[in-house]
């Protein structure tokens, strides 16, 4: 999840990169299935959400943070299994690798903003990843690609 101020309970102020670069361009849709475009307003990236012929502009970082929080919540539920699988895949079984993987999951937001969306967005789109928002930019659903069911299991 995003970091929170311990005194006020509010989310940290967004960084300059959060304001200027949306993480999920082309992957955000309204509840009617219409894609939200990205618009820059005053140097801040917004998702322009279609609403019956109008466009509702919502700061992209607010939607992006909500999506990341959902991803972290779901990853957290299976974090131990995920880390074990990653360690096995890497051929490592040491405390330092486990700590690094755990830290990467804890700091998912920083990992997203440190990366380049142009690298992962086409792949996510190809596999059917979508973020569904209401006209106010509240995340209604995050659709993930589904793995085919192995009939041998």
Q: What is the pLDDT of residues 67-85, one digit of tens each?
A: 999 988 888 888 888 888 8
> Residue 98 and residue 92: Cα distance in Å, rounded?
9
Q: What is the pTM of this model?
A: 0.76
- Across the chain, what does the average pLDDT equal? 85
Q: State the pLDDT at residue 4.
A: 40
Residue 57 has pLDDT above 90, yes or no: yes
> Residue 94 and residue 126: Cα distance in Å, rounded?
35
Q: What is the pLDDT of residues 105-146, one digit of tens each?
A: 888 888 888 888 888 899 889 989 999 999 999 999 999 876
| Residue spans per domain, the chain | 16-136
């Amino acid at each position: 999840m995003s970091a929170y101020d311990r005194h006020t309970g509010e989310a940290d102020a967004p960084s300059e990169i959060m304001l200027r670069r949306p993480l999920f361009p082309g992957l955000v849709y309204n509840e009617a299935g219409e894609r939200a475009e990205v618009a820059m307003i005053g140097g801040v990236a917004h998702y322009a959400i279609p609403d019956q012929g109008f466009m509702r502009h919502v700061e992209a970082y607010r939607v992006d943070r909500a999506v990341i929080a959902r991803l972290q919540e779901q990853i957290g539920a299976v974090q131990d299994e995920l880390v074990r699988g990653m360690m096995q895949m890497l051929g490592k079984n040491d405390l330092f690798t486990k700590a690094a993987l755990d830290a990467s999951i804890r700091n998912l937001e920083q990992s997203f903003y440190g990366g380049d969306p142009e690298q992962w967005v086409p792949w996510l789109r190809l596999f059917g990843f979508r973020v569904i928002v209401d006209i106010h930019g509240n995340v209604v659903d995050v659709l993930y690609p589904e793995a085919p069911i192995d009939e041998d299991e």
